[in-house]
Amino acid sequence: MRVDIVTLFPSMFKGPFEESIIKRAQEKGLLSIHFCNPRQFTYNRHHTVDDAPFGGGGGMVMKPEPIFEAVEKIKEEIKPSKGKVILLSPQGTLFNQEKAKELAKQENLILICGHYEGVDERVREHLAEEEISIGDYVLTGGELAAMVVVDAVARLLPGVLGCENSAKEDSFYSGLLEYPQYTRPAEFRGWKVPEVLLSGNHELIRKWRRRKMLERTLRRRPELLKKVKLSEEDKKLLREIKDNISEFEGKEDR
Ligand code: 9D3
């Protein structure tokens, strides 16, 4: 996959893309990331990329011309239009795992990062094909959001994770929160690992983990339970959990 990022601040991306899994994905030739700075497409002495909003009000708005020219230059480099132009913005649809999977099928992504108070509306109307937000909080620009999207998409590309992990992703990502995990030592500062995990009884362990997943999801993210397909065993476990709610009220996660 080739990702082109339109940003006034390409150096913001240095750390995150030059470490760990994203770094290796690039080294393996599975992912290439390019940057295009709209400032390159400004022609006055001050290389103006933003201006005051028509109609007045505070803040600055990113001008359309440099962004359009940046995207048009990128499109010349990637011949077939097998890509998607995405604007990162607080007004976008919420990014989630489903969207990450969808984007991972694309050959090319062009991500436009706004900065300041936003971008000229004509960018979203006539250039962007999608608009994505990463959550209901205010960032200083689209750059961190673009990093989040690239990270979530890149790990889904074939060969990026070890096959051990990628298999897990498809068959195991169930829409529930994960169960608690422990490693050695079996006792740390007096805190013991749950007995069942040391028992060697795989069926008992499986059941315990499933119960923990349901318990945790019910308590922390109950809305997720409505989207998930529950087995008969899950429904039985969930009923037990709900019956014991007063007990688990005190115990699970405080
Ligand atoms: C005064 C109204 N503000 C919107 C809440 C203006 C504004 C603030 C910050 C407009 C853009 C930004 C910069 N944020 C992004 O570009 C952004 C973002 C975000 O702030 N939160 C979650 N997802 C994203 S994606 C891009």
Cα 112 to Cα 123: distance, rounded to the nearest angstrom: 9
Ordered domains of the chain (ranges, CATH): 2-154 (3.40.1280.10), 187-253 (1.10.1270.20)
- In sequence order, the β-bridge partners of residue 2 are 32, 108
Ligand 1 pocket, 114 CB below 6 A?
A: yes
Q: Of the residues 170, 203, 223, 253, which is catalytic?
A: 170
Q: Give the DSSP letter of residue 213.
A: H
At 115 the three-state DSSP class reads strand
Q: What is the pTM of this model?
A: 0.93
Cα 224 to Cα 175: distance, rounded to the nearest angstrom: 7
Ligand 1 pocket, 138 CB below 6 A?
A: yes
Give the position, in ligand 1's atom list, of the atom nearest the Cα of 135. Answer: 22
State the DSSP H helix or E strand holding residue 89, giving kind and residue range, or none if neither.
strand 83-94
Q: What is the pLDDT of residues 182-241, one digit of tens each?
A: 999 999 999 999 999 999 999 999 999 999 999 999 999 999 999 999 999 999 999 999
| Helical ranges in 28-142 per DSSP H | 64-77, 97-103, 121-126
Q: What is the pLDDT of residues 8-44, one digit of tens each?
A: 999 999 999 999 999 999 999 999 999 999 999 999 9
Burial of 18 (0-12, 13-18, 19+ CB in 10 A): exposed
Ligand 1 pocket, 133 CB below 6 A?
A: yes
Q: Name the pairing type of β-strands 2-6 and 32-36.
A: parallel
Q: Of the residues 72, 117, 243, 249, which is catalytic?
A: 117
4 is catalytic: no
Ligand 1 pocket, 135 CB below 6 A?
A: yes
64 is catalytic: no
CA neighbours within 13 Å on the CB side: how many for 165?
Answer: 9
